[in-house]
Structure 1
Amino acid sequence: MSEVEKNVKIKLNSTILPADGESETYELWLSGTYIEKSGKTYLRYEEAIDENKIRTTVKMDNENALILRSGGVKMRLPFNTLQKEGGHYETQYGTLPIVTQTHQLTHEHNEQSVINGKFHVQYDLIISGQSVGKYTLEIQYSEGQK
């Protein structure tokens, strides 16, 4: 099976509604790579927060998805519309188990003349049995024109 790898521009919108606070929204524009491998679709990008570089891989599907982060932040964040999923977030004090309860998950992809698409997930983040907030993540990507 062939592998497709293309440079893409990525617009990332993240909204966090903490259980005890006001909503926060972040928007990032990044350069990344779109990868199709063994029938699976991935986005890879790198962001810099404070002095740390964070490498992120998003494995996208319509029923489940996975966000893996490494570097300045180490995290495994799985999404499944049918059941709660366990992941983890590594801190300087140790590994914190986290759970996601996915409410909505879509991945729209178009490959007519250039690759573009949109990945959207809405979920509750659960730590120690308590929801710490409702999260919405939307990633739009399109093949970069060189």
Structure 2
Amino acid sequence: MESNKEGRNVDVLLQSTIRHVGQAADKHELNAEGTLVEKAGKTYLRFVEDLNGQQVQTTVKLEEEDALIMRNGAVQMRLPFTQGEIRPGSYGNGPATFDLLVKTTKLEVGADKFIAHYELHAEGALLGRHELNITYTEGQ
């Protein structure tokens, strides 16, 4: 893989399926250029999303025991993942921020993939079930 001092360049494919209670599944796909960074013995995947013309910087901490997705920009989000556990997270859009509970039902981290299946809960209610699959391959 090509390397620079910020990490290795990778092509990112993000596929997500969201099942909100009482609604049909909502599927999304995103292709982006990203960077795989090693820092303090941990691996992070970084890429930028374009959300309705606004930039969102996404960082994924790639650890099977303690993964984390952080998004900053047009959307502020922090989702921690630990298989079989419920962890506190948050989501913000503009001035409003909501506390979430993230219940991870599947977490798989490999050399070129990140898979997380999880439920999001807020104020005691199930918001939806999510399946997230991120693959990353050598970039240009």
TM-score, structure 2 length as denominator? 0.92
Residue in 2 aligned with 1:76?
Answer: 78
How far has the Cα of 1:93 moved from its partner? 4.5
Residue in 2 aligned with 1:133?
Answer: 128
Residue in 1 aligned with 2:14?
Answer: 12
Q: Which amino acid aligns with 2:23?
A: G
Distance of 2:6 and 2:84 partners within structure 1: 29
Q: Which amino acid aligns with 1:49?
A: L
Mark the runs of 5 or more structure 1 residues left unpaired by the alignment: 110-116
Count of aligned positions: 136
Aligned pairs (5 A) from 1:79-118? 79-109=81-111, 117-118=112-113
Over residues 2-56 of structure 1, what are the superposed CA-to-partner deviations in whole Å (9 max), with x where a residue is unaligned? x871010000000001112000111111100001112211100001111210000
Contact 2:84–2:105 (Cα < 8 Å) also in 1: no
Structure 1 moving runs of 4+ over 3 Å: none
TM-score, structure 1 length as denominator? 0.88
Contact 2:64–2:82 (Cα < 8 Å) also in 1: no
> What secondary structure, in the 3-state scheme, does the structure 2 residue paired with 1:12 have?
strand
* Counterparts in 2 of 1:93 and 1:71: CA distance versus 1, 3 Å: closer
Coordinate RMSD, CA, aligned: 1.4
Distance of 1:53 and 1:8 partners within structure 2: 19
How far has the Cα of 1:62 moved from its partner? 1.1
Contact 2:20–2:127 (Cα < 8 Å) also in 1: yes
Identical amino acids, percent of aligned pairs:
38
How far has the Cα of 1:94 moved from its partner? 2.4
How far has the Cα of 1:91 moved from its partner? 3.0
> What secondary structure, in the 3-state scheme, does the structure 1 residue paired with 2:38 have?
strand
Mark the runs of 5 or more structure 2 residues left unpaired by the alignment: none
Contact 1:64–1:105 (Cα < 8 Å) also in 2: no
